[in-house]
Structure formats: C-alpha cells, structure tokens
C-alpha cells in the first residue's frame, strides 16, 4: 500500500466519517429489520407461512437499492469535495500524474465503500441467525451482499466520474440531460398526438432501456432484492 | 408593555369578524349538505321502486343509451380492431392495444375472421362496463374495463389479456380443459410466479414437488403442471405461465393449425410449441429460475457488465479538463 494511497484514504475518511455513520447504521439495521418483520407481525405461536416471509420482505426490499444509491453518491461526492474546495492546489502540488492521482482516489473511495457493505453483511447474517428460514425457501445472504456491493460500486463510479470534472462540464452535462429528457419527452408526446402514432419512443423510455436494462450500467438494480427467496 | 397589550387587543378585534364570518360560512355549508342529504334520502326509495318495475336488462340498456348520448365517442383502428370510447380514453388505450397486437399478432395468424372488425370499448368505470356487458350480446364486441390509473404496465397487461382471451377458445380442447378458467396473456410475472410453485399457498400445491421441479426434475414439473392429461376447473397461475411460454415458442399460425387437435394436453402443447414437452418444460423452468433472488443481480453476465461499466467510468474520471493548465 503506497504512502499516497494511505494519505488519500486518511483524507477521505476525515471528510466522510460523519455523513457515513448513519449509512453504516442503516446498512446494519435494515436487513435485520426486514428479516424480523414477518416474525414480529406473523401469527404468534405458529410457524410463519413462507408466503408471508416473502411478502413482508418484498414490501420493504426497495430500501436496499435506495441505500446503495445513497452510499455510492455520498462516498463519490466526498472524494472530490476537498479538491474542489482547495481549487486542486493540493493535488497539483503532488508529484503524480492526474491519472494516477484519480486512480488512487478511486481506490480509496472503494475501500471506504466496503464499510457499509461489511455492516450490511453483518446485519444480514445477524438477521438470518434470528429468523428461521421456512421450509421450501432458501437464504441468499452472499448474493444479496454482493448485489449491494455491485450496485453501490456502479453508482460510486458514475458519480465519481461526474464529480471529477469541472463545474462547467457538469453543468453542460446536466443542461443537455434536462433538454433531452424533459423537453424531448414533451416534444415526442406532442408528436405522438399530432401523428396519432403512439409507437414513437420517448427519450425517457430510451434512457430507461439504455441505463437500467442489461447491459446498461444500472441493470444490477433491477429484479428482486430478497434475502430469503424460493 | 401598554403598547403590547394595545396591539394584542387590536389584533383580537380585527380577527373577530373573520372568525364569525368563517363560522357563518361553516354553518351555511353544513345546512346545504344536510339539505342535499335529505333530498338524496327521499330519492332513494323512488329509484328502488323504478328499478323493481324494470328488468335489469332494460335498466342496463337505458344506462348505456344515456351514456352514449352524454359522451361523444371516438373510433380508432388498431390492426384489425376498432377501439370505441371517449376520445381521451381511446387515445390513451390505443398505445396499449398497439403494443398488445404487436405481441399477439403471430398467434392470431390464420384466425382472421376471429379478429377482423372486432370492437373494443375501453371503459374506466366498472359499473358502466358491467352494464354495457349485459347488453353487448352481439358477437365481435368486447367491453374492457381499463383502470383509472395511467400506469402503462397495467394498461398494456389489460390490452394483452383482452387479446389473449380472444385466442383461448381457439386452442385445442384438451389444452383449454387443462388450463381451466385461468386467463392467459400476462408475461411479466415470472419473479412472482416462481413462488407459487415452490411456496405452498394454502394447500394448493405440495411444496416438495415444486421444489424438485425448480431444481430441474422434469418429472416433478409434469406433476406440478398436471401434464400430460390433467384438467383444471379454475386454472392456476403456474399452468397459465407454462401456456404463455409455449405460445411464445409457437410459430406464426400454430394456434390456427392445431385448433381442432384431439390429443391430450401434453401432445397438443408439444404440437403448439413445436418441441418435445420435456424441452419446453426445461426452457420454461430456466426462464423462471433466472428471476430468483440468487440469480437476479449476481448472474455472471450482470456482474461482468457492471464491472466493465465501473472500469469505463473509472477511466473517464482519470481524463479531465480540470488539470489542463496550458
């Protein structure tokens, strides 16, 4: 581990520790909460029906992709915050290339990302230890944690790339996004009405397909996020 | 202090007329509501008396006539169909029907007389739909209740199920008996369906057979599905799902070709899907298991594509205009 990496890790830790603390707590507590739900609200004194275990998890499983999103965005934004504040003077004073500096910073952020993932893994295992898995169902803790890691990583990488650029570039990207998605969708809706042709695809539909369907970058967010499943 | 007391007194005095006015408005409002309630209560027995005199069918016809007079209707052609309804509603449902027709068109090949000129009336209100349904005895007319929500998934599913129900009477008799009263047409429910097979819901399915089926035991899958010669009164989502899968595999015109088939359900499904039953079952199970939590996010291709995107974003962040000082 190079000294510079250690230094960057230390700097990132100082910036992110307080915002990250509630995320780590949630990452630990949410799987525990979701897994215990069926037991708490299920019929007392009898085995909880398997369908209820799945249903209860399904009602709350949306929190995990959301948590992965928050984790990735937060760690990526804090990775560049002190550079932006110091107008990159510190980075420019270092005897390294831009590429190497970014790579080390990216690696330091990835290390930071492991903290909520470990908390999630511990919370999941604790929840499974306290919840009997009904006959016919299986627990998928590894798959669940791996999925959270992938989801948080891809959000982290995308936000890291966006945050690394200048404010001007970010503004241009945002303006283009707004123009294409919002105005494009409105324009296509008018076009659909005028031509009586509802098969014209709107930019927002195109964007969804490109980003959230395989092989789009955020495809890992799709599908179910259950810990206990068939 | 004296100034403060004076200001407070002024405020109270100023607010008093407003409060009184609000109270007055409130009591007028209450009286109006009471009057309307009394009026409605007095009308209810009269309405019941009229309905007792009329037959249900005549009442429904009158309701439909009055709706037709009140609401100007629009007609739009989608493929071989006609959509008839309120203009705004027809405009919205048109897209759903176009999507559904795109999906189901190959299955209707050779069944032109079944679909050509068929009229669909998308109706939002369930009561109106049921009234219209009573009087729609003419062949070629179908009333569909579209929910109020503008959710495109629900809209597309409703349109697809409407077309699928048209197709069902043209499947071989044994397939109809095997699939029972269940509707066909919903295709995007694999992640929920798998639990119907494995998880015992009430006492409908013994879970051991379901589990073995999901683990790839084709004989267990035959048991679960009641193949080759089972029958079903009400139908169940598992059979519906398999039938949808077979229809997806079917060549264009396969339904028309096998319409009068006399074999058992297993044989007819083989003919329809154009493959041996075991192959069809294997393909169906593979599709379902891909939606399990163990596979949904961490299947190899998903992991690889995500890692590739991470590398792309990482590479993008290394090259920036930020440090180009010159």
Question: If pLDDT is split at 50, 70 and 90, which confidence band does B297 have?
Answer: low
Closest residue in B to A50 (Cα–Cα): B199
**pLDDT tens digits, A100-115:** 888 999 999 999 999 9
Is the CB of B319 less than 8 angstroms away from the CB of A99? Answer: yes
Inter-residue contact B239 to B178 (CB < 8 Å): yes
Question: If pLDDT is split at 50, 70 and 90, which confidence band does A153 have?
Answer: very high
Return the pLDDT at B65: 61
How far B171 CA lies from chain A's nearest CA (Å)?
A: 30
The percent of residues in chain B predicted with pLDDT above 90, rounded, is: 4
Residue with tokens 């007389």: B113
Kindly tell me if the per-residue pLDDT of B55 is higher than 80: no
Q: What phi, psi does A229 have (nearest 5°)?
A: -150, 180
Is the CB of B305 less than 8 angstroms away from the CB of A161? Answer: no
Chain B residues closer than 8 Å to A219 by CB? 302, 305-306
Q: In terms of pLDDT, which residue wins out, B91 or B302?
A: B302
- Closest-CA residue to B226 (of B264, B276, B184, B273): B264
Kindly tell me if the per-residue pLDDT of A59 is higher than 80: yes
Inter-residue contact A60 to A34 (CB < 8 Å): yes
Is the CB of B316 less than 8 angstroms away from the CB of A225? Answer: no
Q: Omega before A94 cis (within 30°)?
A: no
Return the pLDDT at A131: 86
Is the CB of A147 less than 8 angstroms away from the CB of B297? Answer: yes
How far B215 CA lies from chain A's nearest CA (Å)?
A: 11
Query: Using CB atoms, which residue from A147, A161, A230 is nearest to B317?
Result: A161
Q: Which strand (E) or helix (H) includes residue A73?
A: helix A63-85
Per DSSP, the three-state class of B185 is coil
Instruction: Count helices and strands (H / E) in chain A.
Output: 9, 2
Question: If pLDDT is split at 50, 70 and 90, which confidence band does A151 have?
Answer: very high
Q: Where are the beta strands (DSSP E) in chain A?
A: 138-139, 228-229
Is the CB of A215 less than 8 angstroms away from the CB of B305? Answer: yes
Query: Using CB atoms, which residue from B199, B298, B309 is nearest to A54?
Result: B199
Kindly tell me if the per-residue pLDDT of B1 is higher than 50: no
Return the pLDDT at B182: 60
Query: Using CB atoms, which residue from A91, A220, A223 is nearest to B191?
Result: A223
Buried b (16+ CB within 10 A) or exposed e, B283-294: bbbeebbebbbb
Is the CB of A50 less than 8 angstroms away from the CB of B296? Answer: no
Left, alpha or beta for B73 (phi > 0: left; psi -120 to 50: alpha)? beta
Query: Using CB atoms, which residue from B191, B295, B318 is nearest to A99?
Result: B318
Is the CB of B294 less than 8 angstroms away from the CB of A98? Answer: no
Alpha-carbon distance B127 to B114, whole Å?
Answer: 27
**pLDDT tens digits, B124-170:** 666 666 666 555 555 666 666 666 656 667 777 777 777 877 788 88
Kindly tell me if the per-residue pLDDT of B14 is higher than 90: no
Chain B residues closer than 8 Å to A89 by CB? none
Chain A residues closer than 8 Å to B194 by CB? 230
Number of CB pairs, chain A paired with chain B, less than 8 A apart: 144
């Amino acid at each position: 581990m190079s000294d510079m990496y250690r230094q960057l890790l230390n700097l990132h830790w100082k910036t992110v520790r307080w915002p990250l603390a509630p995320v780590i707590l949630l990452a630990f507590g949410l799987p525990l909460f979701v897994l215990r739900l069926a037991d708490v609200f299920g019929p007392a004194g009898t085995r909880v029906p398997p369908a209820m275990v799945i249903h209860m998890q399904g009602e709350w499983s949306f929190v995990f992709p959301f948590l992965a999103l928050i984790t990735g965005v937060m760690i990526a934004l804090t990775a560049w915050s002190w550079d932006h504040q110091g107008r990159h003077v510190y980075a420019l004073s270092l005897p390294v290339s831009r590429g190497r500096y970014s790579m080390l910073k990216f690696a330091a952020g990835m290390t930071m990302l492991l903290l909520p993932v470990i908390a999630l893994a511990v919370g999941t295992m604790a929840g499974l230890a306290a919840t009997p898995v009904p006959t016919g169902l299986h627990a998928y803790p590894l798959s669940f944690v791996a999925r959270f890691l992938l989801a948080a990583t891809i959000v982290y990488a995308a936000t890291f790339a966006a945050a690394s650029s200048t404010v001007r570039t970010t503004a241009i990207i945002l303006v283009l996004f707004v123009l294409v998605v919002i105005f494009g969708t409105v324009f296509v809706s008018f076009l659909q009405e005028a031509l009586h042709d509802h098969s014209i695809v709107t930019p927002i539909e195109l964007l969804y397909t490109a980003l959230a369907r395989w092989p789009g970058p955020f495809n890992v967010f799709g599908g179910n996020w259950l810990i206990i499943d068939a | 202090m004296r100034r403060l007391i004076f200001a407070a007194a002024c405020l109270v005095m100023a607010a008093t007329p407003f409060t009184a006015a609000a109270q007055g408005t409130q009591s007028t409002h209450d009286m109006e509501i009471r009057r309307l309630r009394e009026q409605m209560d007095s009308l209810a027995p009269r309405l019941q008396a009229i309905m007792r005199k009329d037959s249900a069918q005549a009442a429904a016809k009158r309701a439909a006539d009055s709706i037709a007079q009140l609401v100007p209707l629009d007609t739009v052609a989608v493929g071989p169909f006609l959509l008839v309804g309120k203009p705004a509603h027809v405009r919205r449902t048109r897209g759903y029907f176009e999507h559904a027709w795109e999906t189901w068109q190959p299955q209707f090949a050779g069944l032109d007389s079944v679909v050509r000129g068929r009229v669909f009336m998308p109706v939002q209100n369930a009561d109106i739909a049921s009234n219209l349904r009573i009087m729609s005895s003419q062949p070629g007319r179908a009333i569909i209740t579209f929910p109020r929500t503008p959710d495109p998934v629900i809209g597309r599913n409703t349109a697809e199920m409407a077309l699928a129900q048209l197709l069902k009477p043209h499947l071989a008799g044994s397939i109809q008996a095997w699939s029972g009263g269940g509707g066909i047409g919903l295709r995007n429910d694999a992640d929920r369906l798998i639990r119907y097979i494995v998880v015992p819901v009430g006492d409908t399915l013994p879970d051991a057979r379901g589990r073995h089926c999901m683990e790839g035991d084709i004989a267990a899958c035959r048991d679960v599905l009641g193949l080759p010669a089972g029958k079903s009164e009400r139908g169940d989502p598992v059979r519906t799902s398999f039938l949808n899968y077979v229809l997806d595999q079917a060549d264009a015109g396969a339904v028309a070709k096998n319409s009068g088939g006399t074999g058992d359900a297993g044989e007819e499904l083989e003919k329809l899907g154009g493959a041996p039953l075991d192959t069809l079952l294997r393909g169906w199970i593979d599709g379902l298991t891909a939606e399990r939590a163990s596979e949904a996010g961490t299947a190899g291709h998903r992991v690889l594509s995500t890692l590739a995107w991470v590398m792309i974003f990482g590479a993008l962040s290394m090259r920036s205009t930020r440090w180009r000082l010159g």
